[in-house]
Amino acid sequence: EVQLVESGGGLVQPGGSLRLSCAASGFTFSSYWMSWVRQAPGKGLEWVANIKQDGSAKYYVESLKGRFTISRDNAKKSLYLQINSLRAEDTAVYYCATNYNYYMDVWGRGTTVTVSS
């Protein structure tokens, strides 16, 4: 079964950092671009970043560049998102998803990040 499982979310104070993880199984992880997408409470979907199969290319939504870093470990079949200098507006459910021809065909269930003092 193709599966993505996110982890690493939680409650963090403003200015703090978090590293989100996404564990893949049931498919050849190293063959896919991967993306992070987030959804603030009661809001729509926002694409955050994506990364090429070998990690050699990374793209970010302009507004988050500098604070967010996407990475992957193909040997561990894992995707990561490092988030620094967290702000209240980063509060959201963060989803990882496989990327194929610019669309996201498999999604995880998400991990919730809450930024609050």
Partner 1 sequence: QSVLTQPPSVSGAPGQRVTISCTGGSSNIGAGFDVHWYQQLPGTAPKLLIYVNNNRPSGVPDRFSASKSGTSASLAIGGLQAEDEADYYCQSYDSSLSGSVFGGGTKLTVL
Binding to partner 1 by residue 104, rule CB under 8 A? yes
CA distance 59 to 4: 21
Of 54, 62, 75, 89, the one binding partner 1 (CB under 8 A) is 62
Binding to partner 1 by residue 33, rule CB under 8 A? no
Closest CA to 10 of 2, 21, 1: 21
Phi, psi dihedral angles at 30 (to 5 degrees)? -70, -5
Work out how close the CB of 15 gets to partner 1 at its nearest, in angstroms, rounded to a whole number: 26
In terms of CB distance, is 18 or 108 closer to partner 1? 108
Residue 116 is encoded by which pair of tokens? 């609050």
Consecutive H or E run containing 2: none
- Residues engaged in binding partner 1 (CB under 8 A): 35, 37, 44-47, 50, 59-62, 95, 101-110
